[in-house]
């Protein structure tokens, strides 16, 4: 069974984030899926493609470290600002190219510099059947 293509509106979850987020894909590749811009592994830019996940609870995040130290060692979550420096790690079909870059599918993962792993919850692609 094939893995769904990821597009604008896909829900994302970070292992250290308190809330889900939404993927934003600019229509640069001019490829659509479910009438939405299709994503590639290069759609990983913080605050452009990857929106915040509420608050971050990672003890590798400098803001969380500082707030926890100020609270005398009590873990203090701070606002999430994703730190995704590298592209998505292709999951299913890295041979499918969109604008010379591998397409992003629902099995792909993205690493945050603050030790979080970002996964696709709902790929954003929906299929409607016409009777």
Domains identified in the chain and CATH numbers: 1-53+81-123 (2.60.200)
Percent of the chain with pLDDT over 90: 68
Q: Distance (Å, rounded) from C-alpha 30 to C-alpha 72?
A: 51
Q: Is the pLDDT of residue 95 over 90?
A: no
pLDDT digits (tens, 9 = 90+) for 112-121: 999 999 999 9
Please report the pLDDT score of residue 13 as a whole number: 98
| Cα angle 48, 54, 59; round to 5 | 100
Please report the pLDDT score of residue 5 as a whole number: 86
Q: Distance (Å, rounded) from C-alpha 46 to C-alpha 83?
A: 6
Please report the pLDDT score of residue 89 as a whole number: 93
pLDDT digits (tens, 9 = 90+) for 20-46: 999 999 988 778 777 889 999 999 999
Top-confidence range, 27-31, 81-85, 121-125: 81-85
**Contact at 8 Å (CB) between 45 and 38?**
no
Q: Is the pLDDT of residue 92 over 70?
A: no
Q: Is the pLDDT of residue 1 over 50?
A: no
Phi and psi, residue 17, nearest 5°: -90, 150
Q: Is the pLDDT of residue 2 over 70?
A: no
Q: Is the pLDDT of residue 128 over 60?
A: no
């Amino acid at each position: 069974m094939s893995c769904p293509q990821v597009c604008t509106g896909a829900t994302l979850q970070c292992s250290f984030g308190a809330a889900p987020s939404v993927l934003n894909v600019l229509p640069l590749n001019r490829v659509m899926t479910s009438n939405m811009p299709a994503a590639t592994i290069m759609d990983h830019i913080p605050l452009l493609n990857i929106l915040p996940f509420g608050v971050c609870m990672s003890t590798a995040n400098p803001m969380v470290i500082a707030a926890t130290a100020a609270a005398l060692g009590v873990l203090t979550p701070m606002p999430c600002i994703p730190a995704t420096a590298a592209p998505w790690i292709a999951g299913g079909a890295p041979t499918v190219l969109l604008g010379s870059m591998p397409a992003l599918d629902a099995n792909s993962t993205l690493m945050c510099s603050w030790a979080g792993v970002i996964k696709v919850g709902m790929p954003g692609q929906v299929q409607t059947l016409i009777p």
